[in-house]
Amino acid sequence: MTDPLEARSGVAAVDRYLAEDYRTVPGMSSRFAAAITCGLMRIQSRLGVTGDVAEIGAFEGRFLIALAHALAPGERALGIDRFDWPTPAVLDRFEENCRRHAIAPERRITWKADTAGMRPQDVTARLGGGLVRLFHIDGEHTRAALTHDLELATPVMCDGGILVLDDMLHPGYPTLVLAVHEYLQRYPEMTVLCIIDRESVVAASKFVLCGREWFERYEAVLLEDYKANIWPMGANFEPHWCLVLSLDTALPDFS
Ligand SMILES: C[S@@+](CC[C@H](N)C(=O)[O-])C[C@H]1O[C@@H](n2cnc3c(N)ncnc32)[C@H](O)[C@@H]1O
């Protein structure tokens, strides 16, 4: 059986970056979440889903570089950030990290902007009319900002598109899940595909959302490809159930 601690994306370039360089690029998302998210991109490619990837909150590029290594030929990675925190020098570090980790300039689009003033058509225009197959939302961590970013991302997604939401169930941001549940009420055609469990308090859980029509197709492959990382109890979204992918799949032993 595969060692759950060895979770891989299955994309050679991603897995090399995760093994050798991921932790050298400052950032917050876990290596485990990057492996599963890029594994989902591999699954998308297998199922014929094509498009660009985008991230709100690119910071120094840690997570976006992983996603960019999972792109198919002709697809690009859009990195959106205010690039002003902790200082404006973060923009240069983002560009340098992308260069150092072999994300060629024609494969990425850097957008220094605040999403608060953005509309979906602005995102599409940046992508030259292209749609997004995977959108990682990791910007401002308030209920209102997450609601706005979800409304920004949803119209630009392609059929089969996946939304990955960072810092769900993080003790520092307990209201973010309210924005997700409100979103799911507004978009009943969307559902939670799985939860990617945390590595630490800082590297917290991610919720992965997809269209209901795609749920079974994606779940079937996740069950097959990530057997060693499936926590047996699953997540109860009342009444919907979805997979929990974790590095620790143990249940309490009461024997
Ligand atoms: C937690 S960091 C992102 C970490 C990164 N995604 C990773 O996985 O390592 C959050 C980022 O969101 C950016 N951000 C916060 N609010 C934003 C907004 N309204 N528009 C654009 N970027 C924003 C911040 O500048 C910061 O770089």
Is 252 part of a structural domain of the chain? Answer: no
Q: How far is the CA of 249 from the centre of ligand 1 (A)?
A: 30
pLDDT of 4 reads 66
Three-point CA angle 142, 113, 163, nearest 5°: 55
Count how many domains the chain has.
1
Point out the ligand 1 atom lying closest to the alpha carbon of residue 62.
9
Alpha-carbon gap, residue 12 to 9, rounded angstroms: 8
Q: Which domain holds residue 105?
A: 4-245
Task: State pLDDT tens for residues 123-158.
Answer: 999 999 999 999 999 999 999 999 999 999 999 999
202 lines ligand 1 (CB under 6 A): no
Mean pLDDT (the chain, rounded)? 96
Mean pLDDT of 92-115: 98
- Strands 205-211 and 190-196 come out as antiparallel
Is 174 part of a structural domain of the chain? Answer: yes
Mean pLDDT of 39-59: 98
Is 251 part of a structural domain of the chain? Answer: no
Q: How far is the CA of 138 from the centre of ligand 1 (A)?
A: 6
Q: How far is the CA of 141 from the centre of ligand 1 (A)?
A: 9
Q: How far is the CA of 162 from the centre of ligand 1 (A)?
A: 19
Tell me the pLDDT band of 253, cut-offs 50, 70 and 90. Answer: confident
Point out the ligand 1 atom lying closest to the alpha carbon of residue 83.
25
Q: How far is the CA of 29 from the centre of ligand 1 (A)?
A: 11
Tell me the pLDDT band of 161, cut-offs 50, 70 and 90. Answer: very high
Tell me if 54 sits within 8 A of 161, measured CB to CB.
Answer: no
In this model, does residue 5 exceed pLDDT 80?
no
Is 255 part of a structural domain of the chain? Answer: no
Is 250 part of a structural domain of the chain? Answer: no
Q: Full-prediction pTM beyond 0.85?
A: yes
In this model, does residue 98 exceed pLDDT 90?
yes
44 lines ligand 1 (CB under 6 A): no
Mean pLDDT of 36-42: 98
Q: How far is the CA of 3 from the centre of ligand 1 (A)?
A: 32
Mean pLDDT of 43-65: 98
pLDDT of 202 reads 87
Task: State pLDDT tens for residues 170-213.
Answer: 999 999 999 999 999 999 999 999 999 999 988 999 999 999 99
19 lines ligand 1 (CB under 6 A): no
pLDDT of 2 reads 66
Is 37 part of a structural domain of the chain? Answer: yes
- Strands 77-81 and 235-236 come out as unpaired
Within 10 Å of residue 53's Cβ, how many Cβ atoms?
27
Mutate to test the pocket of ligand 1, among 28, 140, 147, 168 (most ligand atoms within 8 A of CB): 140
pLDDT of 237 reads 96
94 lines ligand 1 (CB under 6 A): no
26 lines ligand 1 (CB under 6 A): no
Comparing 4 with 93, which gets the higher pLDDT? 93
In this model, does residue 1 exceed pLDDT 80?
no
Residue with tokens 């917050």: 28
Is 25 part of a structural domain of the chain? Answer: yes
Burial of 187 (0-12, 13-18, 19+ CB in 10 A): middle
* Tokens found for residue 18: 């995760």
Mean pLDDT of 215-240: 97
Is 199 part of a structural domain of the chain? Answer: yes
CATH of the domain at 26: 3.40.50.150
